[in-house]
Structure 1
C-alpha cells in the first residue's frame, strides 16, 4: 500500500482534468478543521485547473465567524472566484505545503499572517471502506447531482462529520460538484496564527458553511476533483478583492 505522501506526490506529478466544459479543478486538501477556540482552517492544493495556473489556498474562519481566504494565485482564478462575496478578505501571498512524513504535512504562510499549521493523517476502517467505494464509482456518477446529494446525505453520519454537501451553490452563485476519490481523517493537528495557539481539535457548537458548502465537523483529507458552473456575469458575483485581514 502506497503511503499518503506517495499518493499525493502522484497527484502533484500527474493530476489531470476530467472531461467537460465547466470550470474544473483536480488535487487534494483538508476540507475543514475546527478548534476549541472557534477557529477553523481548511486547505486546498490544485496542481491543475481549467481557469488558470495551479495554486494553494488556506481558508481561515475566526471565532467571530468572519472568513479570509489566502491563496498564491489571484482571487479571480482561485477559491475567491466562488466564495469571495462571503469573505471578509482575500489575500494573495506565498503558501507552502510540505510533507514531513508519510502521513504528516505542514502548511505555512509567512509575513504578517504568520500561520504555522501541522497535521497528521490516519487511515481507519471507515476511510478505507469509503475510499474503496469512491474509487469504484464511474466518473459519470460523480457528475450526477442526484447521486452527489445522496452521497453527501449518507456520508455525513457515517463519517461523524455533521452535514456534508457535495453539490449545491457557492456564495457567488455558481453551482458546484465535489468529487472525492480517496480520503483519510486528520488524527492530530496544531496551529498558531501570529504566535497565538489555535487550541485543540473540537467540533464547532454550530456547524458552519459557505453557501451550500458545509465545513465538516471533523478533519477530512481528500484527493479528488471539483467543478463549478462557468462564470456568467449576469448571474454570478465576481471575486471580491479586499485588503489584508
Structure 2
C-alpha cells in the first residue's frame, strides 16, 4: 500500500466536497477498491469513506416500493427485506461470505457495476431507480457497460428505489471460488408484465432478456422459455470458468429455474 489521505464525512454535502479533491475516490465497502489499490491499479490521493453517513443507511417502504440507502450493507438488506421482498433478501444473502456482507454496500456495488455483480440484475428487474446527490436515474439508463454507469465525476449514490413485484426469484449459478455468479437471472413478475435481468454472462454487463420478457408476460411458466434462442454466445464472457456459449446456455437454464421457483 502507499500513503494517501483518508476522510470519513458524516453528511452527503461533506462527502461531495471532499471528493472535489483531485484524484479523490469514494469508498463504500471497499471489496473492489482495496485490492486494486494494493496492486497499484488504482492510486487515489484521497479515499472518502461514505460509511459514516447515517442518512444513506437503512431500508424503508416508500409508496408501493422500497427505499434503500446507498450505504446500507448487504447483511442489512438481507435482514430487512426478508418479509417484504424475499427475492431481493435472498440475492443479498448470497453475496460473498458473512465478512463481505457485513461491510459491502448496495451503493458501492452499483457504483462499481462489476459485470458479475448481483445487485445490478436485481435493480434492473425491479424497475429500479438510482438516487444520487444531484438527480434520479432509471436503472434502464444507469447501466452503460462493463464497469460503466451514468454517474458523473463526483456524483455519489445516496439511495436506490425499487418496486416490489407480485412474484420474483433470483436464480444464481455460483462460481464457488469467488461466490460471484457465473451466470444469474433475476425474474420479476408485475401486473403489467415480466422483467428478466441477467448478470455474470455478458461482456457488456447486466442486461434485460427482452425475448424472454415477452414470452413470460404472455405465459408465466418455465415452458414459455423453451422455444427461445439464447443470447448470442459471441457477446458473452469467455474465461477459464466457462465459454461464451456455455454462459449463453445458462441464461435460459437459470431463467427457467427462476420462473419455476416463483
Please state which structure has a larger fraction of its residues in strand.
1
Give the shorter-chain TM-score range.
under 0.3
Larger RCO (CA under 8 A, 6+ residues apart): 1
**What TM-score comes out, normalization by structure 2 length?**
0.25
More helix by share: 2
